[in-house]
Amino acid sequence: MALNTIDAKMLSKMFLAGAKNLESKKEWINELNVFPVPDGDTGTNMTLTIMSAAKELVTLGENPDMDALCKAISGGSLRGARGNSGVILSQLLRGFTRSIKTLNVIDIPALADAFEKAVETAYKAVMKPKEGTILTVARGAAEKARELCDDGADDLEVFLGAVIEHARYVLSQTPELLPVLKQAGVVDSGGQGLVEVLSGAYDAFLGKEVDYIIAEPTPSAQSGPRQDVQAQADIKFGYCTEFIIMLSRNFNIKAEIDFKAFLESIGDSIVCVADDDVVKVHVHTNDPGLAIQRALKYGALSNIKIDNMRLEHQEKLFKEAEKQKGGVAEAASVTDENPVPEAEEVIPAEKKETGFVAVSIGEGMNEIFKGLGVDYIIEGGQTMNPSTADMLEAIEKVNADTVFILPNNSNVIMAANQAVGLVKDKKIVVIPTKTVPQGITAVINFVPDLSPEENTEVMMEEIKNVRTGEVTYAVRDTQIDDKTITQGDYMGIGDKGILTNGTDLVEVTLGMVDAMMSDELELISIYYGNDVNESDAESLRQSIADKYSNCDVELQYGGQPIYYYVISAE
């Protein structure tokens, strides 16, 4: 008998199947990326985003209610969102789940409403929506769903199949909307990722065999310590601490991240699962009292269970020794001579008016930012876009009234902006830096005596004067920006596209600089990566200085992977 409604159990299966299908296709989706650069691409970012939600979902068990399911999908994808495509996917999921969270089952009219809410939410999250992208595919699916619903569709299997088929058609048309896709001979990678999620979900609805396993099982808050693992390893944290918080105050995404960050500061093996008005907690720590004391801020506690894992560990070793040697083995005991180490006291930094968080891409770049006074470095950028959760963790560790975030990558700006609305106790300002040199310029132009608003205005103005070029290699053959590129070619990429390409690294780099330059520029900064030796970098610097004798030309070690040179002109 055909299903005409979807309950929470079925929706859970469909979501996990969609996530697994996307994960299995992520490398292929990466290959669709127009720019043939070896970055953390669309497929990777979307997969990390949806898997963050999937991992929260599996903690709910086999029979979750709709509200709990929607919270796991929305909250998990929000925290795990990486890159523009991942943030847009998280917003689609957020809008969809908002529309259905109060329902017991979903029928065709409810699905049509949810598709429309998903698209509305995602479009609102993008400052300048561009057609021919994942947004276009999502809107096409929503429009088809509404059309079928209004025409009286009553067979859910036929309805879903038709919506997905139309999504595939809209995806096939994306090259007609974005010339760069047509020139490269590909469809939009984000739109392809969305179609794979929908297709996987549809397979589960049809009852096809799907592998729902997301990751290795995590110890639940109801289980004891893993004795087999403990018998083979030293125990850093001695007490397995478990309890349930009966919430009496709001435990939103920010509160959950704060609480998890605190648990991480005092222990490991952390499980923290919010479910309606209760929170299940599991942590290994040397001071259970600290975990309990912090938890009491959110409500009353129940089901408290504390096990001394070191004693259990000794018993395990003792028994294993008896079995292996046929006798009694000496086991070290926890005595005054071998005390349980105390948790290290966390001394917060003195609070200040303004702090900085910067995304960076290499050891040398990190040191430059630190030398300029940046408080917290998030490593990632080009090769792995940080998530919204990474942003929130960094913000939490900066003890300042106002925190400026420098994304330093166009694909990180949306995740940074998404974090702004989740922080209530600090003023967060995102300076939309698209490159590391822009971030460096922003910090250099910060004036402590100015207000946050005045500094924002100054930094926003100054980063407009920075031109950036980056030299990397092509991971596949393609046709883009009227250039024929062969796999393995060096490419000089400017602010608005590929400037040069070829087989000689120095020629490509010098050609890129030539394309960047104009008469009013006065300073050229060269940051060489970890695949370039200093003597070669100095030789390049001299060549540029000889040609542009009216400019100061600086050379610094950036240490960035993937990109041989990052060069700015201002």
Listing DSSP states for 177-190 in one string gives H-HHHHHHT---HH
In contact, 199 and 283? CB cutoff 8 Å? no
Token look-up 């926003």 returns 460
Q: Splitting the chain (570 residues) into consecutive groups of 10 residues, what average pLDDT does each group show? A: 83 94 90 68 88 88 88 86 85 94 95 96 80 94 96 94 96 91 87 95 89 50 33 60 82 81 81 65 82 88 74 53 45 38 47 92 89 89 73 89 93 88 88 94 91 94 94 86 87 91 95 93 92 94 94 92 92
In contact, 72 and 55? CB cutoff 8 Å? no
CA distance linking residue 256 with residue 432, whole number of Å: 27
CA distance linking residue 253 with residue 39, whole number of Å: 29
Find the distance separating the first CA and the last CA of the chain, reported in whole Å: 68
Q: What is the pLDDT of residue 213?
A: 67
Q: What is the pLDDT of residue 528?
A: 94
Q: What is the pLDDT of residue 98?
A: 93
CA distance linking residue 281 with residue 183, whole number of Å: 52
Residues sharing a CB contact under 8 Å with residue 139, sequence separation 6 or more, in sequence order: 119, 123, 170
Token look-up 């001071």 returns 287
In contact, 473 and 496? CB cutoff 8 Å? no
Q: What is the pLDDT of residue 119?
A: 95
Token representation of residue 448: 């402590």
Token representation of residue 96: 């969809």
Q: What is the pLDDT of residue 233?
A: 39
Q: What is the pLDDT of residue 299?
A: 87
Q: What is the pLDDT of residue 320?
A: 47
Q: How many helices (H) and strands (E) does the chain have?
A: 22, 18
CA distance linking residue 73 with residue 54, whole number of Å: 7
Query: In 349-388, at which residue ranges do the beta strands (DSSP E only) sit?
Result: 352-360, 376-379
Token representation of residue 394: 């960094």
Three-state DSSP at 390 gives helix
Three-state DSSP at 146 gives helix
The angle subtended at Cα 90 by Cα 248 and Cα 437, nearest 5°, is 110
Cα four-point dihedral sign 176, 180, 183, 188: negative
Cα four-point dihedral sign 312, 316, 322, 323: positive
Smallest CA-to-CA distance from 524 within 549, 546, 494, 554 is with 554
In contact, 293 and 275? CB cutoff 8 Å? no
CA distance linking residue 491 with residue 501, whole number of Å: 4
